[in-house]
Amino acid sequence: MVILDRPNIELLYKGTKVTVNFDKKDAPSIVNLFGGLKVGEEYDISFKKRGKRSLNANNYHWSLCEQMAKILKTSKYAVHNQLMIDYGTDWIDEDGNQIYVLMKDNDRYLSKETEHYRPTDATEDRKGTIYRWFVLLLPSHLMDPKEMADLIDGTINEAKELGIDTRTPDEIERMKALWQTERI
């Protein structure tokens, strides 16, 4: 069982130079995050500005989530999280392990905006409060083309069941194909 560890990272901006500072205790997490870095070494990291995207698979997914949320009278995040549970991908760490998180046993995980969880059957009673183990799910913007295609197909099927008009199969396939090229 692996618990996601979030290092405290501080960014200092000076002109066009950005310095990333973090506590020494967080160094192992930073090394894991970027893979292959050596603690104590200095690195230059470059960023490339991405061109403006047209409607892509992820945007289309969110568009359908918004339409579904209106019909279901809930939030787009609740719809998105349920779709992630049904059609998403478990986040696997660099050692091939699922990442588990222990949280109070309620439905607040469905309203999370940036993190997505799939509940398991495993619960714990801690001093009268019930906690549940959740599997951390891979965010849609990090999915590979196959994973994103599964999420899009599931989203489209759910949208159609609610009577929402969807794009043509050709348009959908084009969006899925662009998913890989837009991520490079």
Pairing of strands 17-22, 9-14: antiparallel
Within 10 angstroms of residue 83's Cβ, the number of other Cβ atoms is: 22
Name the token pair of 171. 């348009």
Residue type, 31: V
- What is the three-class DSSP state of 56? coil
Question: What's the pLDDT score for residue 157?
Answer: 93
pLDDT, tens digit (0-9, with 9 covering 90-100), for 118-171: 999 999 999 999 999 999 999 887 888 788 889 989 999 999 999 998 877 777
Q: What was the pLDDT predicted at 27?
A: 66
Is pTM beyond 0.75? Reply is: no
Within the chain, which residues score under 70 in pLDDT? 1-40, 43-55, 176, 178-184
